[in-house]
Amino acid sequence: MSPAVDPPPDLAALREEYARGGLDESDLAVDPIAMFRRWLTEAATAGLHEPNAMVVSTADDSGRPSSRMVLLKGLDERGFVFFTNTGSRKGEELAGNSRCALLFPWHPLERQVRVDGTAALLPRVDVAAYFASRPRGSQLGAWASPQSRVVSGRAELDGAFAEAEARFPAEVPVPDEWGGYVVVPDAVEFWQGRPGRMHDRLVYRRGSEPDAWEVVRLAP
């Protein structure tokens, strides 16, 4: 007899009314990074699980998109920083087409932030500084995993990890393939759910002057 399985949810009937708050033009900070910092702090203070988890979308040369979750590991006046293997699918796609999009899905706050931008490789010195701060296991994993390439099985990965452990008994250097990107934003949208699907959507768009931003409101 097969074990009892809960029936799937009735998707058409699953809906939430969003009523936690609103977002007015007068609430906005002068630039999107300052505004993002404010919302990220609120997401962390509210106890959201991994508030720095974001969906990164890239596209290959022919325009075929792909998305995956990545952790935001830095935020400065340039933009949004994450680390990964540059030989991975996302790395290959960014090498051919540096345009990308980020999405922060902060459901419990009825918020999302969308970023459209261009990814640039971080200087090796920044990569080395962050790599040095990672736990040893993650450093070894970076050596053991040819990220996004096909492997023969779990045993190959476990073997590669053990090999890295033996090869680097003390300090673990940064693998050549491991790197980081800063996503420089062209547009950042702050979305706050409202009743009746009349949500607030305020978008900072880069103006013609350097570091000048204009704000527009989009219909929900």
Q: Which residues are identified as catalytic? A: 197
Residue 182 in contact with ligand FMN, rule: CB under 6 A: no
Among 57, 84, 86, 112, binds ligand FMN (CB under 6 A): 84
Among 53, 121, 157, 184, binds ligand FMN (CB under 6 A): 53
Q: Where are the alpha helices (DSSP H) in 134-218?
A: 136-144, 154-167
Segment (H or E) for 138: helix 136-144
Among 148, 187, 201, 205, binds ligand FMN (CB under 6 A): 148
Query: Smallest gap, in angstroms, from Cβ of residue 101 to ligand FMN?
Result: 14
Residue 132 in contact with ligand FMN, rule: CB under 6 A: no
DSSP string, 22-55: ---GGG--SSHHHHHHHHHHHHHHTT-SSTTEEE
Q: Provide the phi-psi class of 92: left if phi over 0, else alpha when psi is between -120 and 50, else beta.
A: alpha
Measured in whole angstroms, how far is the alpha carbon of residue 27 from the centre of its chain?
24
**CA nearest to 180, candidates 117, 216, 128, 112:** 128
Residue 97 in contact with ligand FMN, rule: CB under 6 A: no
Residue 82 in contact with ligand FMN, rule: CB under 6 A: yes
Residue 46 in contact with ligand FMN, rule: CB under 6 A: no
Residue 69 in contact with ligand FMN, rule: CB under 6 A: yes
Residue 212 in contact with ligand FMN, rule: CB under 6 A: no
* 67 neighbors 56 (Cβ within 8 angstroms): yes
User: Which positions lie near ligand FMN, rule CB under 6 A?
Assistant: 50, 53, 66, 68-71, 82-85, 88-90, 147-148
